[in-house]
Amino acid sequence: MGVVSVPQDFNEEELFVDVRPILGRPLFLKCEGFNFAGSIKLKAATAMVRAAERDGVLTPRSVLVESSSGNLGVALSVIAATAAYRFLCVTDSRCNLSARRLMEALGSQVHVITKPKPGGDFLGARIDHVRALCASDDRYVWLDQYTNPENWRAHCRTTAPAIARQFPRLDVLFVGAGTTGTLMGCARYFRAWHRRVRVVAVDSVGSAIFGGAPGRRMIPGLGASVRPPLLDEFYVDEVVRADEADAIRACHRLASSGFLFGGSTGSVVSGAMDWLSRHDTRGLTAVAIAPDLGERYLDTVYQSNWLHDLYGPAVLGSDALTGVQ
């Protein structure tokens, strides 16, 4: 595809990075950051908006409203800039400043929630704010990425078939979990595929997606303080939890070879490395999904003051990822 007239018509779907030369274990990273929204969330955003337009829910007088940790907000901003309606993003103080600036540059409005609900529940506080907006004016339309089936269907139609085309002998797929749209779309697709694929969900330590108490998480995108309504564990073979300090180290290892990925890619890679270190990988084909690139994280994951304040001065000092220097 060489010519587009709307940004959402372009997405690089066929790009994979072989990380074995960098990390020493067999893993291909599916790169989802090459589109005009810079992340995998362009797919969910496009699918949800198309369905809402088709169903007559979105009209030119509508104002789209959505809770997002950043990337879905940027994707909806890209789409809204091509349409008659406006977009308001409800995010929280952990959202990257650059994501917020991107949304504003694209003409969207951003509300930042600074106070979580009891127990550190920022997501609940964001959703309360969205509900209050919708109750205040019937022009607000909330597509609700947490419950909207178009979120996972987008990946069933695009992400998973692209992986299957490139790796017809795929054995294991690692997918990070946020809303679980990517996870559920890919897991559903591969459950029906001709070959048994082990689908491993990667969640953050401190996330309550697969149970347990919520705790501190600073890398946006992955994890949630509540169980996502889209999650159906029947399709998930295994769950690994990635520690944020390990995720940061994975990001820096990849960056030192010129691959600047986002924070959640570090989590997925570190979870995958942990899994691969515990299994016989001879002849194994493994893929992990890299949701975005690193530019959005220059003030966080790639900034030493931020790292030292949150994870201590030794965070990059030791490399527990593969044991190989």
Ligand X SMILES: Cc1ncc(COP(=O)(O)O)c(C=O)c1O
**Binding stretches for ligand X (CB under 6 A):** 39, 41, 69, 71-72, 176-183, 221-222, 262, 264, 291-292
Nearest distance in Å: CB 169, ligand X: 25
Tell me how far apart the alpha carbons of residues 68 and 52 are, in angstroms, rounded to a whole number.
18
Please identify, using beta-carbon distances, which residue of 154 and 321 lies nearer to ligand X. Answer: 154
Nearest distance in Å: CB 250, ligand X: 14
Q: What type of residue sits at position 317?
A: G
Please identify, using beta-carbon distances, which residue of 26 and 223 lies nearer to ligand X. Answer: 223
Encode burial over 234-259: b for 16+ CB neighbours within 10 A, e otherwise: ebbbebbbbbbbbbbbbbbbbeeeeb
- Kindly give, in sequence order, each residue whose CB lies less than 8 Å from that of residue 47, ignoring residues fewer than 6 positions away: 150, 151, 153, 154, 157
Nearest distance in Å: CB 176, ligand X: 5
CB burial of residue 148 (10 Å; 0-12, 13-18, 19+): buried
Mapping DSSP to helix (H, G, I), strand (E, B) and coil, where does residue 11 land? Answer: strand
Please identify, using beta-carbon distances, which residue of 176 and 214 lies nearer to ligand X. Answer: 176
Nearest distance in Å: CB 153, ligand X: 12
DSSP letter, residue 15: -
Nearest distance in Å: CB 69, ligand X: 6
Nearest distance in Å: CB 89, ligand X: 12
Please identify, using beta-carbon distances, which residue of 152 and 275 lies nearer to ligand X. Answer: 152
- Residue of minimal CB distance from ligand X? 221
End-to-end alpha carbon distance in the chain: 40
Tell me how far apart the alpha carbons of residues 259 and 91 are, in angstroms, rounded to a whole number.
28
Please identify, using beta-carbon distances, which residue of 39 and 270 lies nearer to ligand X. Answer: 39
Please identify, using beta-carbon distances, which residue of 16 and 281 lies nearer to ligand X. Answer: 16
Please identify, using beta-carbon distances, which residue of 116 and 220 lies nearer to ligand X. Answer: 220
Nearest distance in Å: CB 78, ligand X: 14
- Which stretches of the chain are DSSP H helices? 20-23, 41-54, 71-80, 97-105, 122-136, 149-157, 159-166, 181-191, 244-255, 263-277, 304-311
Tell me how far apart the alpha carbons of residues 293 and 280 are, in angstroms, rounded to a whole number.
30
